[in-house]
Structure 1
Amino acid sequence: MPRPPISLNPTTLALATAAWIGAFSNWPLWQALARLPEMSSARGLVFIAGFMLAVMALTFALLTVFASRFTIKPMAAFFVLAAAFGAHFMGAYGVVIDPTMMTNVLQTNARETRDLLSGRMVLVVALLAAPPLWGLWRVRLLPTSGWRQLARNAVAVLASIALVVAIVFALFADLSATMRNHRQLRYLINPLNSFFSLGVLAAEGQAKPKGPPLAIGLDAAALPRAADAKPPLLLLVVGETARADHFSLNGYKQRTNPELAERQVLSFTEVSSCGTSTAASLPCMFSHLGRKEFNAADRDHENLLDVLQRAGYAVLWLDNQAGCKGLCTRVPNAETGDDKTLPATLCDSEGECFDEALLHGLDRRLATLPAERRAKGTVIVLHQMGSHGPAYYKRSPPERKPFTPECTTNVLQQCEHESLIHAYDNSVAYTDHVLAMAVDWLKAREADSAPALLYVSDHGESLGENNLYLHGLPYAVAPREQTHVPMVVWLPPRHPLTACLASQQSKPLSHDNLFHTVLGLAGVRAKEYQQALDMTAQCGPR
């Protein structure tokens, strides 16, 4: 005879679910704690056990809010699945789930999601979610009156909070030191980290005034030019996930930049990013505010593209990634996948294109911009797919893979470290090729324009250092690999700025310089322009 189903009160079911999540679905947290040198003693083991009990109690308190006959099962299932997926990504890539990472999750498109799917993910989620989900399906809930259940839940929540307070007092010295020295640990508490981050994003969204962003550059205008001067043509290339220390222009051992080296570009070796993810860096690097003021701002502002367009320039954003994060909504823009004339070799069956697609038909796209604006000047932004992970091997075509053997999976821990580096370096070498093509395209237009190229990546990437992969750690604790980005400038031969900019190649710079330097290169001024942040300003008149 089959066993009769177990009968439980909804509060007891919440307790069982919280215990499972705390013990098993938080394994990345317990693993991170166990690696800390201060946890190697008996005192450390006591701290970990107390921390685990506190996590269970907090999860139980939150889940108990939904402990009724009609809501506990679906909410418990939601908690279990959220924790299982969170555990996989934190454990597999060494990331944490904070508001910035949650922003990345919410803005991830179908192509990026596909790159994150793997057999390992299915296995981890099944191991962490299948047993409790089976138990939820099998268990029978005991009937109880609404008021009695409400009273039971209230007592359970108060008892849980009291237990957490008691644990905090008992372990306060160790807890305060650990949280102060290893702040990222708070974003490993699963799935409370996800719920907290969603709450922060919702609160921030409500706090910001509704309506369009604040206008900037209302006085923007092009600087006077000589009668025979040619209009500027600036190609601004936004790289993706590129590390400065993997550019051979900066001394890296692998020849990842052979084509750019032949074109005598200037490489700036000490550039820091605004953030550690596209969602954080991209809006910040196009802002006039700088990283600190941008993150503290309680109102959205227009950006660099608006200022250039307000100055009368032709502006175009071309995207080969997950969109412009709202930057290009007020200027002409297009995505590579929308071009039906692209050769089949540049895009796969699912619509993902190699970065060469950004240059395909560029003359045709340029000709669609208003002629009167092009006569003043043109700025084209190319947003690359670059070295977007974890499927680095997809970012370079088969005929452009100088480094082998190459890791060909998105489960990075399964790769030999050398093959992982090869896959990443192949993507950097392909970016080198695309940038070289862009330089050649600009060279062919010197007769009727004053061309220039500026390339800078949005953020860097961890490639297994300290068991960290990908990017997105909170900026305050992010390793240099995630914030040290490459920046490259090309100018025509004998350009008056070349020698001056060459002297700044080892100067500490950041994304804060981008807004003002682009205005400098384009010959545009507005009240938001800061001369001190313009790399070209100290070079004198030209």
Structure 2
Amino acid sequence: MVLPSHPLAPTPTGSGLLAPRSPQQIVLILTAYLLAATNWPLWTELARLGGAPSLYLPDVAGMAWLLAAGLVALLSLTAWSRHAKPLWFGLVLLAAVVQHYMATYRMVMDPSMALNVLQTDPGEARDLFSLRMLVDVLVVALPAAWWLWMVPVRPQRPLQALWRNALLFVLAVAAAVGGGMAMSRQLAPLMRNQPHLRYMMNPLASVYSFGMAASRPMLHRSRQLVPISGGAALGASYAGQARPRLLLLVVGETARADHFGLNGYARDTTPQLKARGVVSFRDMHSCGTNTAASVPCMFSHLGKHAYEGRSQDYENLLDVLQAAGLAVLWVDNQSGCKGVCDRVPHAAANDAAQVAAHPRLCSEDECLDEVMLDGLDARIAALPPERVARGVVLVMHELGSHGPAYYKRSPADAKPYQPECRTVTLADCAHSELLNAYDNSIAYTDRFLGQTIDWLKARHERFDTGLVYLSDHGESLGEYGLFLHGVPYAFAPEVQKHVPFVAWLDGGLGGRTGVQDACLRAHVDMPLTHDNLYHTVMGLVDVKSPTYQPALDAFAGCREARGAHPATSAG
């Protein structure tokens, strides 16, 4: 029996590439196209690593064999009828988009990067679109779209399609296993030493990574949240206190430690912080290289290695502070708190009402970080008064230096470095212009932090205040041909992991907790990681908990012990 044709489907005639094809034949041709048209970043990376053609061509052939077998196995699951054409085109479109970003920013599509993509808000997504991206995607996608539309698909009975697809799948898996075994001596060391190559196999890696990222919420829902707030209590310093504490913790975005003037950068990008006498710790390293990985990790009590290897989800620092009786508030100028603030009061500083109310600071659905200071007293007043009377921990999540549109991260009156790169296709800019745009964003963060400290000073009569600033990860600005961030941690460059960490405790919080300023300044080069944040904040606000580890409290060694060496990270 011949199935009726769709009225808009092409007539099942033609020759050459447009000859009628079975779904299995289309899968094989599409695999060849994806191999040739959407994997140039992989082939060029293999050539770069191999050096001479005699060294890298065998690697290219081996990777091509494995990738082809994997694609055939994947596509064989879809080879049923002409109705699979939209799905096939969607895969081509995904591969074209991913290839553009791999080629433009030297990123790889691992599960953490896929999770970042899924959590990106409209403003961030808009910054990633460009005319260059449109051209790159259309060059790859249009030929495939035309061919998929025009090629007639031979109808098959369900059982016939089933056994053919099963045979195709088995043959593809056998080819992958056999090829992998035959080439293991050649490819195993390569994949072990260069693990990022497996995430450049396009679009196989993208399908895997997006699948893992999309399934993560379902896996999390099946887990029970492990409480760690039992036993949390306020310390002895709260007895008869004259004023409650107010700690303002600023979570920075995409800031590099080596671009802070406080840390020895040639440009004075941080004059406001310097004028306010902050302490800048120069050897802080992040938990991850992207927001989705770093932010939950830095608020965890587990530390990087245990957090990444956990089988359960745990409460975090904010849960413990709230359980101890403090008022906790998260104010977000980003794409969310990545689950950290789910169980405490939280607010978006870039919602529609804020955007409408602040045309100077906001455009479309994105606001400069100063907007978080607006209405902050009212936000605190809305918290439970009995908790505020004990103390407040306020977290601000910055937009900071989020790329690639660095030029949007600073207002016109805060751009000391000109000319600046004003495109999201960073490789098209002169390196000096790219640095100018990025450094302007750092200079604006400096201004914002200076204003935040001034806001805290103005509330000294009511609160003992202090500020801690710590960025979630760093950024690549063309070093080694890399841009942005998100390179898997094991082989990410130092600039994506080395982040600024700044403390200002002169509003009374340092005195309340006995932290000696001179001692901190004597040890600004001590090695620290995000592992230290949980325990350092617990010490600053004097919250007791079985999860608190004094050895990981960065300020513990300078508390009521002049000249003592501060504790450093064990991670």
Is this a same-fold pair by TM over 0.5?
Answer: yes
Letter in 2 for 1:255: D
Unaligned ranges ≥5, structure 2 = 1-10, 562-571
Aligned residues: 539
Give the match for residue 466 of structure 1.
480
Q: Does 1:261 align with 2:274?
A: yes
Asked if the contact 1:342–1:360 (Cα under 8 Å) also holds between the matched residues in 2, the reply is no
SS in 1 for 2:393: strand
Letter in 2 for 1:42: S
Give the match for residue 506 of structure 2.
492
Of the candidates 75, 85, 89, which is equivalent to residue 77 of structure 1? Answer: 89
- The structure-2 alpha-carbon separation of the partners of 1:274 and 1:43, relative to structure 1 and needing over 3 Å to count, comes to closer
- TM-score (structure 1 length as normaliser): 0.95
1:145 deviates by: 3.0
Asked if the contact 2:47–2:53 (Cα under 8 Å) also holds between the matched residues in 1, the reply is no
Of the candidates 508, 511, 525, which is equivalent to residue 544 of structure 2? Answer: 525
Give the match for residue 245 of structure 2.
232
Where do 1:82-231 residues align within 5 Å?
82-201=94-213, 204-208=216-220, 210=222, 213-225=225-237, 227=240, 229-231=242-244
The C-alpha deviation readout for 1:428-448, integer Å capped at 9, x for no partner, is 000000001111111122222
Give the match for residue 28 of structure 1.
41
1:179 deviates by: 0.6
Give the match for residue 10 of structure 1.
23
Of the candidates 356, 360, 364, which is equivalent to residue 345 of structure 1? Answer: 360
The C-alpha deviation readout for 1:204-259, integer Å capped at 9, x for no partner, is 55554636622222221111226354321101000000000110100011111011
1:172 deviates by: 2.2
SS in 1 for 2:419: coil
SS in 2 for 1:403: coil
Asked if the contact 1:47–1:171 (Cα under 8 Å) also holds between the matched residues in 2, the reply is no
Where do 1:345-364 residues align within 5 Å?
345-348=360-363, 350-364=364-378
SS in 2 for 1:334: strand
Asked if the contact 2:224–2:312 (Cα under 8 Å) also holds between the matched residues in 1, the reply is no
1:501 deviates by: 2.0
The C-alpha deviation readout for 1:306-339, integer Å capped at 9, x for no partner, is 1111111111111111111122122221111345
Percent of aligned positions that are identical: 48
Of the candidates 523, 530, 534, which is equivalent to residue 515 of structure 1? Answer: 534
For residues 334 and 72 of structure 1, the distance between their equivalents in structure 2, rounded to whole angstroms, comes to 43
What CA RMSD, in Å, does the superposition of the two structures yield over aligned residues? 1.9
Unaligned ranges ≥5, structure 1 = none
Give the match for residue 32 of structure 2.
19
Q: Does 1:277 align with 2:290?
A: yes
- The structure-2 alpha-carbon separation of the partners of 1:257 and 1:140, relative to structure 1 and needing over 3 Å to count, comes to same
SS in 1 for 2:417: coil
Q: Does 1:405 align with 2:419?
A: yes
- The structure-2 alpha-carbon separation of the partners of 1:256 and 1:146, relative to structure 1 and needing over 3 Å to count, comes to same
For residues 374 and 125 of structure 2, the distance between their equivalents in structure 1, rounded to whole angstroms, comes to 26
Asked if the contact 1:39–1:45 (Cα under 8 Å) also holds between the matched residues in 2, the reply is no
Q: Does 1:48 align with 2:60?
A: yes
Asked if the contact 2:82–2:153 (Cα under 8 Å) also holds between the matched residues in 1, the reply is no
Where do 1:274-313 residues align within 5 Å?
274-313=287-326
For residues 214 and 274 of structure 2, the distance between their equivalents in structure 1, rounded to whole angstroms, comes to 47
Q: Does 1:443 align with 2:457?
A: yes
For residues 442 and 48 of structure 1, the distance between their equivalents in structure 2, rounded to whole angstroms, comes to 58
Q: Does 1:384 align with 2:398?
A: yes
Where do 1:418-437 residues align within 5 Å?
418-437=432-451
1:92 deviates by: 1.1
- TM-score (structure 2 length as normaliser): 0.91
Asked if the contact 1:63–1:75 (Cα under 8 Å) also holds between the matched residues in 2, the reply is no
For residues 246 and 179 of structure 1, the distance between their equivalents in structure 2, rounded to whole angstroms, comes to 33
SS in 1 for 2:444: helix
For residues 169 and 305 of structure 1, the distance between their equivalents in structure 2, rounded to whole angstroms, comes to 49
Give the match for residue 3 of structure 2.
none
Letter in 1 for 2:454: D
1:203 deviates by: 5.6
For residues 258 and 438 of structure 2, the distance between their equivalents in structure 1, rounded to whole angstroms, comes to 12
Asked if the contact 1:102–1:197 (Cα under 8 Å) also holds between the matched residues in 2, the reply is yes
Of the candidates 522, 534, 537, which is equivalent to residue 503 of structure 1? Answer: 522
The C-alpha deviation readout for 1:403-453, integer Å capped at 9, x for no partner, is 011000111111111100110000000000000111111112222221110
Q: Compare relative contact order (CA 8 Å, sep 6+) and give the higher one, 1 or 2.
A: 1
For residues 157 and 447 of structure 1, the distance between their equivalents in structure 2, rounded to whole angstroms, comes to 72
The C-alpha deviation readout for 1:170-196, integer Å capped at 9, x for no partner, is 432221121111110000001111121
Letter in 1 for 2:199: Y
Name which of structure 1's ranges 490-499 and 57-66 shifts more when overlaid on structure 2. Answer: 490-499
- The structure-2 alpha-carbon separation of the partners of 1:144 and 1:314, relative to structure 1 and needing over 3 Å to count, comes to closer
Name which of structure 1's ranges 409-418 and 45-54 shifts more when overlaid on structure 2. Answer: 45-54
For residues 167 and 218 of structure 1, the distance between their equivalents in structure 2, rounded to whole angstroms, comes to 54
Asked if the contact 2:332–2:397 (Cα under 8 Å) also holds between the matched residues in 1, the reply is yes
For residues 514 and 40 of structure 1, the distance between their equivalents in structure 2, rounded to whole angstroms, comes to 47
1:198 deviates by: 3.0
1:523 deviates by: 1.3
Letter in 1 for 2:39: N
For residues 65 and 356 of structure 1, the distance between their equivalents in structure 2, rounded to whole angstroms, comes to 51
For residues 207 and 241 of structure 1, the distance between their equivalents in structure 2, rounded to whole angstroms, comes to 28
For residues 41 and 81 of structure 1, the distance between their equivalents in structure 2, rounded to whole angstroms, comes to 31
The C-alpha deviation readout for 1:9-58, integer Å capped at 9, x for no partner, is 1111100100000111011111111111x341324213212322331222
SS in 2 for 1:490: strand
Name which of structure 1's ranges 149-158 and 97-106 shifts more when overlaid on structure 2. Answer: 149-158
- The structure-2 alpha-carbon separation of the partners of 1:140 and 1:228, relative to structure 1 and needing over 3 Å to count, comes to closer
Give the match for residue 477 of structure 1.
491
For residues 398 and 59 of structure 2, the distance between their equivalents in structure 1, rounded to whole angstroms, comes to 46
For residues 554 and 55 of structure 2, the distance between their equivalents in structure 1, rounded to whole angstroms, comes to 53
SS in 1 for 2:413: coil
Name which of structure 1's ranges 325-334 and 41-50 shifts more when overlaid on structure 2. Answer: 41-50
1:364 deviates by: 2.2
Q: Does 1:326 align with 2:339?
A: yes
For residues 443 and 202 of structure 1, the distance between their equivalents in structure 2, rounded to whole angstroms, comes to 44
- The structure-2 alpha-carbon separation of the partners of 1:337 and 1:87, relative to structure 1 and needing over 3 Å to count, comes to same
For residues 228 and 511 of structure 1, the distance between their equivalents in structure 2, rounded to whole angstroms, comes to 30
SS in 2 for 1:505: coil
Letter in 2 for 1:515: Y
For residues 211 and 16 of structure 1, the distance between their equivalents in structure 2, rounded to whole angstroms, comes to 43
SS in 1 for 2:467: strand
For residues 500 and 365 of structure 1, the distance between their equivalents in structure 2, rounded to whole angstroms, comes to 35
